Structure 1
Amino acid sequence: MQNVKLERNIGLFSAFSTVMGTVIGAGVFFKVASVTGSTHSAGMSLLAWFIGGLLSICGGLTSAELAAAIPETGGAIKYLEVAYGKLPGFLLGWAQVLIYFPANIAALSIIFGTQFVNLFHLSTFWLLPIAIITGASLTIINLLGSKYGARLQSLTLIIKLIPIAVIILFGLISHGSASISFFPSSTSTSNNILVGFSGGLLATMFAYDGWLGIGTIAGEMKSPKKDLPKAIGWGLFGIMVVYLLVNFIFLKTLPINQLAGNLNAASLASKHIFGALGGKIVTIGILISVYGAINGYTMTGMRVPFAMATEDSLPMSHLLKKISLKTYVPYNAGLLQITIAILMMLIGSFDLLTDMLVFVMWIFNVLIFLAVIKLRHQQPELERPYQVPLYPIVPILAIIGGFFILITTIITQTLLAIIGIIITLLGIPVYYLSKHKNN
């Protein structure tokens, strides 16, 4: 086994950029359609984005206590192992390695390819090749070393916020044609206010997804115990502010019936603000935003199979735990991740896989929130450089929010939830086979 260790060269701003850059992707532009489609109210849509942001901040601040106390590469897997044992941690890693990270990379790469083709008026034939090149290019960049991936994350964050800032600035001073009400503007839908709001909130949680992955690079941060909680807390707060402002502009600019279910709502709203050039500006913003999001998933995702392989808990662990002697990056883990992602691009079931794993991830998120309370009682001697503020109120709010997401998904997407649970549980025989082989 190699004695080479991952380099600690990721600072606070790079970690902060990873949180914001990973989460702010296509969701800020596309989720307005599904949120307004569920709520049928501008005011309720903004409330859903606000509540979704608060729940994410509560979840991020809660998990940050474990991230600071257990700053190891592998992130949430290590938290679950300490709190519940090896099997729950393995199942989380299994779900992340097999579907979650590759599915997000695949789905975002397809979105990038779609927007690129539309921007330059290319044939749809080029969509899949561009998507594959996009995902592969980011894997290559991250294989050159963690500092390159981190620098790219910082750069794309700065660039992607420029068009968003322009939209917000000009949108605030422009005259809007739509009014904001806290009640549904249409009574034609069979959904009542509670069901509509819950659907909108669930959609925002998909847009806020991705913050937990920052814990996987804790082993490569210069000062993880000090910087990791700051990166998560301030990163999620910044994301919530951006989401609220951008969606306020869209809702102010267009009436609700032109936003609901319209995936081109962001482009349409920008055309109203800037004129014909607005759609192209938004498309460029989406391309930069999505590229940065893919980089975030690529950088954090490849550390998960590496962390599991160092404990010989995965098939072919002897290959996955290898680190490049030149770049100090787990190159085989990165190659495995992009291979699965490309296969998903070819198959095409991106949305189903992503939605399924978001549900599964929230099962583990709730376990992580509960673990903070559990370890406070069982391991009071554990060094906690950071403690979640307003304990136990913040963890309890995170737990309640997590259960709401799970219950809502089970009620509204029962089959998807069942399939997600089954795929995750398939990791149990793999775990025991690997354990038996090691013994």
Structure 2
Amino acid sequence: MGKDAQLKKNIGFWAALSTVIGTAIGGGVFFKTPVVTQVTGSANMTLLAWLIGGLVTICAGLTTAELSAAIPETGGMVEYIHHTYGKTPSFMLGWAEMVIYFPANIAALSIIFSTQFSSLFNINQKYSIPIALLVAFSITFINLLGSKAAGHFQTFATIFKLIPIAIIIIFGLFAKQGAPVPLFPIQAGHNINFFSGLGQGLLATMFAYDGWIQVGNIAGELKKPKEDLPKAIIIGLLGITVIYLLINFVFLKTLPIGQIMGNDSTAAEAAKVIFGDFGGRLVTIGILVSVYGAINGYAMTGLRVPYAMALDKTIPFSKQLSHLSKQGIPVAATLVQLAIAIVMIFVGGFNTLTDLLVFVIWIFYTMTFAATIILRKREPDMKRPYKTLFYPVTPIIAIIGGIFIVVSTLFTQTGLALIGLGITLIGLPVYWIAKKRNG
């Protein structure tokens, strides 16, 4: 009750809606279409993967919102897992976020920024890793200046990132040139299994939709959570789904599907076709600003995870990791995040890293969806300012979607999944050792 009492209920519907859209839309929408088209092999199955991804995300957001309103504490999902399953699983989530989720996001987006930057300015691809490292270092430097500087930049990037998306959709839909995009019958490409292709396509879209979990963190500060939270989630995530479907339709309409498959420069090439060389370059610069802002968002949020864990004394070197600079920034925690991201830049590509982080985080997302049902039965008298719409259908759809993503990754990318599980499970002995040392 203490934390809940301190929260001021001053957030209205429009602020909640902008939070939904701002946290979810990042760099993934521009760079996941090449993967989805490659694994599905067809235009209509590509759009189906994006549609299912959006519907699963809407159910996930509505399900998690109940927990967010009932447990409106700083830490979000870590607190929901702790309340439902106990300290060890909540530590495992924090550990996974610290060593995989946030650093992998920073590394993956730094890599894709680098490849797009190199392509735009005709720089030799051998410089892609140095440029990616420069991006990661510069973002870290911005965050070391203090949360105010990082926050100002994030506000600018959030507004700016919607511009290239809007321009591509509006002009792309009305452009005359392009290939036909047949919507029916929905079928996989040549020599591609329907369910395997759909599973891998759905996994790829989940990176673009990721970020929705942050929505619920403002539940305790909403003026009218019962009315505004479900409206903001449904309208926001439905809007994002429509935006993603439209921009993918434009890509498929503008370029032959064979030119999109596996081509990380799809967005830039589509922009060139629609606007010409100069206009295409301007749109690509807008995309780069959007990606840079997304990296900053993950860096800002991510550095607080090891700091919070250090305050709880659940990780080694807790004293150093919890120390704050004059600017109020946990410097050691920030540098740990950077160090892990640097290692990932050297060892993984964009798609490998994004698939890894989606697989690991969706294990905990699925546990969170299940927590809604568990707590309804275990704590029926818990104060719930907002209850999940269409319960229990909505959480069941979210759980099935989560299980599908996790299991399909285990079958289609077994090695990657085992690496993710292995790194996550390393957290157990770390937790036990730290717990023993700190009593």
Q: Please indicate the TM-score interval, normalised by the length of the shorter structure.
A: 0.7 to 0.9
Deviation track 1:278-327 (CA, whole Å, cap 9, x = no partner) reads 43133212211111110111111112112222211111112222344x54
Structure 1 distance, partners of 2:125, 2:9, is 41
Deviation track 1:370-426 (CA, whole Å, cap 9, x = no partner) reads 001111111223222222222111111100101111121111111221221122111
Structure 1 distance, partners of 2:259, 2:425, is 42
Letter in 2 for 1:209: D
Structure 2 distance, partners of 1:187, 1:61, is 31
Deviation track 1:108-135 (CA, whole Å, cap 9, x = no partner) reads 1122222223323334465334323322
Deviation track 1:159-187 (CA, whole Å, cap 9, x = no partner) reads 12112111111112111432222357998
Structure 1 distance, partners of 2:373, 2:337, is 33
Per the alignment, residue 259 of structure 2 pairs with 258
Cα pair 1:73 1:303 within 8 Å, conserved: no
Cα pair 2:61 2:212 within 8 Å, conserved: yes
Structure 1 residues 388, 143: CA separation in 2 closer, same or farther (over 3 Å shift)? farther
2:384 is the alignment partner of 1:384: yes
Per the alignment, residue 239 of structure 2 pairs with 238
Structure 1 residues 321, 68: CA separation in 2 closer, same or farther (over 3 Å shift)? farther
Structure 2 distance, partners of 1:301, 1:286, is 22
Task: Give the superposition deviation at 1:94.
Answer: 0.8
Structure 1 residues 144, 255: CA separation in 2 closer, same or farther (over 3 Å shift)? same
Task: Give the superposition deviation at 1:67.
Answer: 2.2
Structure 2 distance, partners of 1:170, 1:122, is 29
SS at match of 2:32: helix
2:397 is the alignment partner of 1:411: no
Letter in 2 for 1:361: I
Q: Which runs of 5+ in 1 are unaligned?
A: 1-5
Q: Which runs of 5+ in 2 are unaligned?
A: 1-5
Per the alignment, residue 3 of structure 2 pairs with none
Which shows bigger deviation, 175-184 or 150-159? 175-184
| Aligned CA-pair RMSD | 3.1
Structure 1 residues 354, 187: CA separation in 2 closer, same or farther (over 3 Å shift)? closer
Deviation track 1:34-78 (CA, whole Å, cap 9, x = no partner) reads 112222322221121111011112112212222232233322111
Structure 1 residues 230, 128: CA separation in 2 closer, same or farther (over 3 Å shift)? farther
Task: Give the superposition deviation at 1:329.
Answer: 3.9
2:55 is the alignment partner of 1:84: no
Deviation track 1:241-300 (CA, whole Å, cap 9, x = no partner) reads 221111111112223233223222222222221122243133212211111110111111
Q: 1:134-173, aligned counterparts within 5 Å?
A: 134-173=135-174
Per the alignment, residue 113 of structure 2 pairs with 112
Structure 1 distance, partners of 2:353, 2:265, is 23
Cα pair 2:81 2:89 within 8 Å, conserved: yes
Aligned residues: 431
Deviation track 1:206-254 (CA, whole Å, cap 9, x = no partner) reads 2222333566x769x9659948777655543332222111111111222
Structure 1 residues 351, 192: CA separation in 2 closer, same or farther (over 3 Å shift)? closer
Cα pair 1:319 1:332 within 8 Å, conserved: yes
Cα pair 1:320 1:330 within 8 Å, conserved: yes
Structure 2 distance, partners of 1:9, 1:301, is 26
The TM-score with structure 1 as length reference comes to: 0.88
Which shows bigger deviation, 130-139 or 96-105? 130-139
The TM-score with structure 2 as length reference comes to: 0.88
Per the alignment, residue 369 of structure 2 pairs with 369
Cα pair 1:32 1:259 within 8 Å, conserved: yes
Per the alignment, residue 3 of structure 1 pairs with none
SS at match of 2:404: helix
